[in-house]
Amino acid sequence: MAQQYTREEIKARFAASLKEGRPIVVASSGIGISAKFAEAGGADMIGLFNSDYLGLDRIEATSLMPYGNANDIVMDLGDRIFPVVKDVPMLAGIIGSDPTREMTPFLKIMRFKGFSAVINFPSPGFAYGQHRNNLERNNYGVQQELKVLRTARELGFYTFGLAYDEQIALQIAEDGHDALVLGLAMVEWEKGGATLEEAAAYVNSVTAKVKAVAPDILVFLQGHPIHTPEDTQYLYDHTDAVGLMGISNMAYGAKPIQEAVASFKAARINQ
C-alpha cells in the first residue's frame, strides 16, 4: 500500500534529490503495472490523472472532454494503483471546478485514502478567448480551481499549481503553493507549439517574475515540446526548472511494448 507523506516530508525528499543534482520526476500512471515500474525506476512521485486512464485506450488529448468525470476516474485509479505502490507519494489530478460535488469533503476523502499531493489538472486554463471567459463567468474556470487548490493546501496536501499563462503562474506563487508547473502547450499555440528554445525563453521569463514573489517555489515542466529525456535535459541546462510533471509522458510504455513484440516477431522458425 502506498505510504502517505506530509508536506514537509515531501519537501525533504525533493530537497535530497536536488542536492544530488538529480531532477524531480513525477511519473503518471493509468494502470498498476506502470505505477509499479515507475516506482522501480526511481520516480519521486506518482500522479494519477484522468487523461492517463483514457490514454490506455489511446483516447488522447481529451482530459477536458465529457467522456467521464475526471474526479471519479482519479478515485477509481487510486483504488487500483495504491495496492501496488510501496514507498512513493501519490499525486491526484483534480478538477476543482467540478460542479457535481462539494470539493472540501472530497479532498478530505482523498486525504483519508492516502493521497499526499494534488494538482489542478485537468484545467480550464487550457481554454482561451470567449470559451475561457464563459467558464470564468460561471465559476467553472481557473479561479474556482485555484480556490480549491488553496483549500487543499490548508488540509495539508503538497500542492502543485498548473499554469498555462504568466498571470496564473504569478497567482499560484502569491497563493503560496509548493510548486509551479508551467504548461508549455500554450506557448506559441498559433503555430502548433513551441520549439525547445522558445519554451526555454518562456520558462525563464515566467520564473524570474515568479521567484520575485515566491523565492522557494519549485518550477516544473509539463507538455509539448517535451517528448524525450533529451528534451528535458535541454530545458534543465537552459532554465532553472527542477523537474518534470510527466502527465502522459510515461504512462503507457507504448514504445517498449512495440519493440518487444517486434523482437519476438523477428525470430525465425525452421521450415
Per-residue model confidence (pLDDT) at position 29:
87
Per-residue model confidence (pLDDT) at position 215:
97
User: If DSSP codes are grouped into helix, strand and coil, which group holds residue 224?
Assistant: coil
Asked whether the predicted pLDDT for residue 243 surpasses 90, the reply is yes
- Residue 256, C-alpha cell as written in the block: 517498449
pTM above 0.95, yes or no: no
Phi, psi values for residue 205, rounded to 5°: -65, -45
Per-residue model confidence (pLDDT) at position 156:
97
Per-residue model confidence (pLDDT) at position 130:
72
Mean local confidence (pLDDT), 175-203: 85
For residues 26 and 23, give the distance between their C-alpha atoms in angstroms, rounded to a whole number.
10
Per-residue model confidence (pLDDT) at position 63:
60
How big is the chain by its Cα radius of gyration, in Å?
19
